[in-house]
Every structure is written in structure tokens, then in C-alpha cells.
A and B are shown apart, each in its own frame.
Chain A
Amino acid sequence: GQQLNQSPQSMFIQEGEDVSMNCTSSSIFNTWLWYKQEPGEGPVLLIALYKAGELTSNGRLTAQFGITRKDSFLNISASIPSDVGIYFCAGSILTGNQFYFGTGTSLTVIP
């Protein structure tokens, strides 16, 4: 299967700090998605990206579809305790086809 490398693996930050994480693939993707998963729950979609260079925001979250189409980035500004969770990137090569998931970034926010 496709390899999606997500980094960092985990982050411990102070409340109010900004967060950056990224995802890289060995293949060109047509769609990038970012999910957040809280303990005992399924992943919840945060942002979807469909075009190279696209920059999309959802509140304090901003994600970008890399120009090379092999990477994507997620930023969280002014983190708050409820941002705690595991963030996953996912990409697909063909529209509507299989999605491949990164291994996740575990975020801990210290009040």
C-alpha cells in the first residue's frame, strides 16, 4: 500500500501556542483530508483539500495541499485544551477511491 509519513508523532505544547504538523506521501494524491480522533471515538473530518496549492481554514485550523501534491500541512493557532487528540492525514489517488491514512500526530495541550 501507499506510505504516508506523518510528523511529528507526538507533541506536548502549552495552551496558546501554535501547532504545525505535516504529511508526506510517496505518490501524488488528488485529495487530502485531515481528521481528528478523540479517545473512544471515530475520526471526525476537519478539512478537505482538492487542489494543489489550496489553502483552507476551519476556525483556528488551516490546512494546505502541497504544490508537489505529495504533501499536506495542518496548522492550529492559539491552541486550547479541547484540541487534544490524535490528528490524521489521509490521501487518495483517485477521486472516490481508497484513502490511505497517516500514522497520526498525538497532540497534548498543557493548560
Chain B
Amino acid sequence: NAGVTQTPKFRVLKTGQSMTLLCAQDMNHEYMYWYRQDPGMGLRLIHYSVGEGTTAKGEVPDGYNVSRLKKQNFLLGLESAAPSQTSVYFCASSYRVGHPQSTDTQYFGPGTRLTVL
């Protein structure tokens, strides 16, 4: 069991460039989440998904898009990167409400450190 994996681990972009961050989980979790972590701000939810083909906005969705074409993958896209998007990005996953093993807990990936110049 690899748990939650994220690629890439590090990336440097120039303003205006685009990129996609990939999150994969092998725990058969229904829910997946993308967070950003900035110094002194804790973790803030960008977008989340409660199932394949569905996504929803979180607390700070502007400038990001997501897709959940397969249950095990959740992609985070930046269409036109800005310096304000320099951050560490974490993906997380969890079981759905009512699942026999549901404990409302989220399992996190190791993070992607993104710098936008």
C-alpha cells in the first residue's frame, strides 16, 4: 500500500506558465482533497471531490482547476501561475460518510513544493 502519492515533489514555474499536479491513492477512498500550506496560515482547502466525476470548491479555489476522471486520481491544475501560488500543496483522501471503515479522517500525501517566479 503506497497510500497517497503526489508528483512532482518540487517544481519551479515562471509567471504565466501552466502545470498539473497529480495525486494518486490506492486505498479505494471516495473523497479526495487538495490543500495549500503557507507559513502562518495552516492548511487551506482549494478543491475537493466526493466521487469520480464530481468536484467542488473549497476555501481558496481561485486560480485552480481540478479533475477526478478516475477514482484513484485527483488532478490540480494551474492555468496561468502567479507568484501568489508559491506554496506547498498537499493532497489528501478519505472514505465516504457511512462507509464501514469511515472514521472521518484524512490521509495526506508528502506534498509538492511549488515556486512561481
Give the interface segment out of B14-22, B40-48, B68-76, B78-86. B40-48
Would A101 and B42 be within 8 Å (CB), given that A92-B104, A96-B97 are in contact? yes
Q: What residue of chain A has the Cβ atom nearest to residue B40's Cβ?
A: A103
B98-115 at interface with A (beta carbon < 8 Å): 102-111
B107: chain A residues within 8 A (beta carbon): 45
A50: chain B residues within 8 A (beta carbon): 104
A86-109 at interface with B (beta carbon < 8 Å): 88, 90, 92, 95-96, 98-104
Q: What residue of chain A has the Cβ atom nearest to residue B9's Cβ?
A: A40
- Interface residue A42 (Cβ < 8 Å from any Cβ of B): yes
Query: Min CB distance, B79 to chain A, in Å?
Result: 23
Is A96 touching B106 in the complex (CB atoms < 8 A)?
no
Is A95 touching B110 in the complex (CB atoms < 8 A)?
no
Is A4 touching B42 in the complex (CB atoms < 8 A)?
yes
Is B102 touching A99 in the complex (CB atoms < 8 A)?
no
What is the number of residues of chain A that contact chain B, defined by CB distance less than 8 Å? 26
Is B4 touching A42 in the complex (CB atoms < 8 A)?
yes
Is B90 touching A43 in the complex (CB atoms < 8 A)?
yes
B62: chain A residues within 8 A (beta carbon): none
Is A99 touching B45 in the complex (CB atoms < 8 A)?
yes
A43: chain B residues within 8 A (beta carbon): 43, 90, 108
What is the number of residues of chain B that contact chain A, defined by CB distance less than 8 Å? 29
Is A45 touching B106 in the complex (CB atoms < 8 A)?
yes
Is A1 touching B59 in the complex (CB atoms < 8 A)?
yes
B41: chain A residues within 8 A (beta carbon): 103
- Interface residue A74 (Cβ < 8 Å from any Cβ of B): no
- Interface residue A33 (Cβ < 8 Å from any Cβ of B): yes
Would A96 and B110 be within 8 Å (CB), given that A42-B4, A45-B105, A88-B43 are in contact? no
Q: Enumerate chain B interface residues (CB-CB to A < 8 A).
A: 4, 31, 33, 35, 40-45, 48, 50, 58-59, 90, 92, 94, 96-97, 102-111
| CB-defined A-B contacts under 8 Å, sample of 22 | A1-B59, A4-B42, A31-B104, A33-B104, A33-B105, A40-B110, A42-B4, A42-B108, A44-B108, A50-B104, A88-B43, A96-B96, A96-B102, A96-B104, A98-B48, A98-B58, A98-B59, A99-B45, A100-B59, A101-B43, A102-B42, A103-B41
